[in-house]
Amino acid sequence: MWFIKLKHKKMQAFLTGVMLFSVAGMLNMSLCLVGELTSFAVQTINEQNCPSGYIFTIGTKDFQDHFPDDSYLSSIETMSALSGKATTVPILYNDKDIVQMHDMMLAATNWRDFGYIELKMGTVETPNEGEVWLSEVLTRPNGIELGDKIIIKYGEPLELSVSGIYRSTCFPKGIGYCPMLVNPADLTHAQHEADAAFFAVNIKEYSDYRMRELFEDSSYSVDTRTRDDVRRTMMEYSGSLGATVAIASLIVIIIAMVILRYVVRNNLMKEFHTIGVYKSLGYSTKEVSRFYSVGYMIVGAVSVIIGVFCSLGLVLVIGDMLTEYVQPFKLTNTALIISFITSFAVMVLLYVNL
């Protein structure tokens, strides 16, 4: 009987399905995005590929200069460094200034010993004189490829050919320092610039607070990016986006349930005489109500399930965009669990309101 009733209300059923497909998909996308990126950040940014903290210094290349006394050094477990010069002049690619907040030219001689840099593109062991390796956070947004030229605008401009593109967990998004790795010979062009260095530091008994406290008394310009900072950088976009979409989805779901409840009740009102016939034939009020609500329940359930699992594709796309400078993003069991819970919760809400 419910199928016959649904056939007469095809447009209503279609619009109901589209509405529930959309809101269930948005809600699930926001919840999965937050859950998956939180899990991704914790699992990916770990002790193997991210030190306790990355330290950028301007004014000195000597690590010990940062400590007022040797007692601080007892907290350090391991330390590796790339040293060179700060860059305070424009850096041009196709006449466009690509300078980040701060830039450095660092000698790439011991980049393998540094331990937290991965060469993604390029074949040379280290940059030759007149060559440079750039971070992905500079090359991708600016369309820079191997063989392209950048110009550092000193009094006598320094032209460097891009021979390598690297990746580091220090740069999960395109913010802050993005050191250029060069041949030591090219640092002679920056003799007038301040000394600079990029340190990867591991401390004993890591905590975010201990890592920050270690360098707070330094008299030099220091920027510390702890392991927790890197994780937060990855999660901040998903958190704000996920919360906004989730709240909007919940509001729309409530509105959708009110509209759906109204539609079913309105249909019952319009078919008052038909309902009287059903009751005269022995059907109870509850059974008659089901003739009208079961069809919408089935349409709603199917739409919710399809919407929820279609939203996983969007989670994959957005997640890949937010983690493009770290490593490929993949869905895990977390997304499936959240999807089943979301589907069940929305269908329960649908059942209660019909």
CB atoms within 10 A of CB 326: 23
Number of residues that this document lists for the chain = 354
Specify whether the CB–CB gap between 195 and 58 falls below 8 A: yes
Q: From CA 336, how far away is CA 186, in angstroms rounded?
A: 52
pLDDT higher than threshold 50 for residue 2:
no
From 38-42, 68-72, 143-147, 257-261, the region with the lowest mean pLDDT: 68-72
Q: What is the mean pLDDT of residues 26-41?
A: 86
Residue 205: which region, alpha, beta or left (left: phi > 0; alpha: psi -120 to 50)?
left
Question: Which single residue is written with the structure tokens 């690590």?
Answer: 63
pLDDT of residue 284: 62
User: Region 57-63: what's the mean pLDDT?
Assistant: 82
Of 105, 100, 111, 180, which is closest to residue 141 (Cα–Cα)?
A: 100
List, for residues 141-194, the tens digit of each pLDDT value: 889 999 999 999 988 899 999 999 998 877 766 555 678 999 999 999 988 899
Name the pairing type of β-strands 221-226 and 53-58.
antiparallel
Joined tokens for residue 102: 């701060």
Q: pLDDT (tens digit, 9 = 90+) per residue, 285-296?
A: 566 566 666 777
**Per-residue pLDDT tens for 75-128?**
888 889 999 998 888 899 998 888 766 678 999 988 988 888 889 888 778 999
Q: What is the 3-state secondary structure (H, E, C) of the chain?
A: CHHHHHHHCHHHHHHHHHHHHHHHHHHHHHHHHHHHHHHHHHHHCCCCCCCCEEEEEECCCCHHHHCCCHHHHHHEEEEEEEEEEEECCCEEECCEECCCCEEEEEECCCHHHHCCCEEEECCCCCCCCCEEEEEHHHHHHHCCCCCCEEEECCCCCEEEEEEEEEECCCCCCCCCECCEEECHHHHHHHCCCCEEEEEEEEECCCCHHHHHHHHCCCCCEEEEEEHHHHHHHHHHHHHHHHHHHHHHHHHHHHHHHHHHHHHHHHHHHHCHHHHHHHHHCCCCHHHHHHHHHHHHHHHHHHHHHHHHHHHHHHHHHHHHHHCCCCCCCCCCHHHHHHHHHHHHHHHHHHHHHC
Q: In this model, does residue 277 exceed pLDDT 80? A: no
